[in-house]
Amino acid sequence: MPSLLHLDSSILGGNSVSRALSAAVVARLKSLDPTIDLVYRDLAAQPIPHLSGSYTAVVRGGLKAGHDAALQADLALGEAVLEEFLAADTVVLGVAQYNLSVPSQLKAWIDRIAVPGKTFRYTEKGPEGLVGNKRVIIALARGGFYGPGSPAENFEHTLSYLKSVLAFIGIANPEVIAADGVNVSSEQRKSSLTKAEAQVATLEIA
């Protein structure tokens, strides 16, 4: 049974364009294959704590966790988040751009899945990604226009960052469905969402 991990990161709830897009992506894939096993995580409603020194010392440094209950709970959460990601055949990321980059809630999730020996490793030839067999679909909403050739292109650190970190762990070609200019006007928001949803309708099962 194919598995799909769906994550949302926008703090805007029902007013979020990225949530609407990611939900449309998931609905499209489920319509094509109703047997897909879906796992959903709302990173805004249930945020993952940012990395701590003690967590990193255990996960990446091999130190013992000891009897710290809070650290034990954090380690268990990190393991669950990583296993969700590793188990998924397809990952759908609902991404809102905030202040030119990804939401901190999404960054916290990325920090839990970028784990040496699990999703990447260091070799004599440099880092090597270990999870290149996954399909990742990014459903992205940006308030302005940051695409290639736009005046603000050099200020775009959301999609460029996501592509870099995904490539680092072995996922070289994520699919991107973007709605730009959603804060420019209500007409532009509607137009961008309509165009993005038309792109969603073309998605096929990998």
Round to whole Å and give the CA distance between 165 and 54: 23
Round to whole Å and give the CA distance between 176 and 23: 14
Contact by Cβ (8 Å): 105, 32: no
Residue 96 pairs in a beta bridge with 141
pLDDT > 80? residue 97: yes
Q: Is 31 annotated as a binding residue?
A: no
pLDDT tens digits along 168-181:
999 999 999 999 99
Per-residue model confidence (pLDDT) at position 162: 98
Per-residue model confidence (pLDDT) at position 1: 85
pLDDT tens digits along 18-32:
999 999 999 999 999
Higher pLDDT, 153 or 4: 4
121 residue type, one letter: R
pLDDT tens digits along 78-92:
999 999 999 999 999
Q: Is 54 annotated as a binding residue?
A: no
Provide long-range contacts, Cβ within 8 A and 24+ apart, for 61-67. Answer: none
Residue whose entry in the numeric block shows the structure tokens 């067999």? 133
Q: Is 18 annotated as a binding residue?
A: yes
pLDDT > 90? residue 153: no
Report the run of H or E that residue 109 belongs to, with start and end: helix 104-113
Class of domain 3-54+84-202: alpha beta
Per-residue model confidence (pLDDT) at position 111: 97
The mean pLDDT value for 88-110 works out to 97
Strands 135-142 and 175-180: what pairing? parallel
98 residue type, one letter: Y
* Spatial CB neighbours of 58, under 8 Å, sequence gap ≥ 6: 64, 65, 71, 75
Q: Is 22 annotated as a binding residue?
A: no
**Residue 135 structure tokens:** 């399909």
Higher pLDDT, 142 or 148: 142
**What rounded mean pLDDT belongs to the chain?**
94
**pTM for the complete prediction?**
0.94
Per-residue model confidence (pLDDT) at position 63: 72
Per-residue model confidence (pLDDT) at position 27: 98
Per-residue model confidence (pLDDT) at position 152: 87
